[in-house]
Structure 1
């Protein structure tokens, strides 16, 4: 197994595009602070692409009262939006 690419924090900030490009090509990159590894940037393995509008049709169901005044008031109250 090859050694992982490693960047210090300053390099990572200034070379983010290069790091993302490496990761897009399957590499894993380690980011370090003061020589200590603190983060790992890895490729996403299961990226799902939606095919467009309606691609979730028939897969989502709503409660009968999902948009009722009572439900909307409860949500507003939860977020402190009622006076």
Structure 2
């Protein structure tokens, strides 16, 4: 993980983004102190209906005991 100062980040922002898109993380620092982190944006995986079919037991659908419900109040 590389650290760059704000001025360098301004001048080379496109290059830094290209590196981030390839998986790198980059820290941006102000006066030598980290103030931001550029990280790759992970797209959410598409949800697949029925992915847990047959894996959820009937107990999942039973009512919670009263003492457990009281903990959530």
TM range (shorter): 0.5 to 0.7
Inter-partner Cα distance in structure 2 for 1:20 and 1:7: 13
4+ residue segments displaced more than 2 Å: none
Match in the other structure for 1:8: 5
Segments of 5+ residues of structure 1 without an aligned counterpart are: 49-83
CA RMSD of aligned residues (A): 1.3
Inter-partner Cα distance in structure 1 for 2:33 and 2:11: 19
Segments of 5+ residues of structure 2 without an aligned counterpart are: 46-73
Higher relative contact order, chain-length normalized (CA < 8 Å, sep 6+) = 2
Match in the other structure for 1:17: 14
**How many correspondences in the alignment?**
45
Taking structure 1 as the reference length, the TM-score comes to 0.51
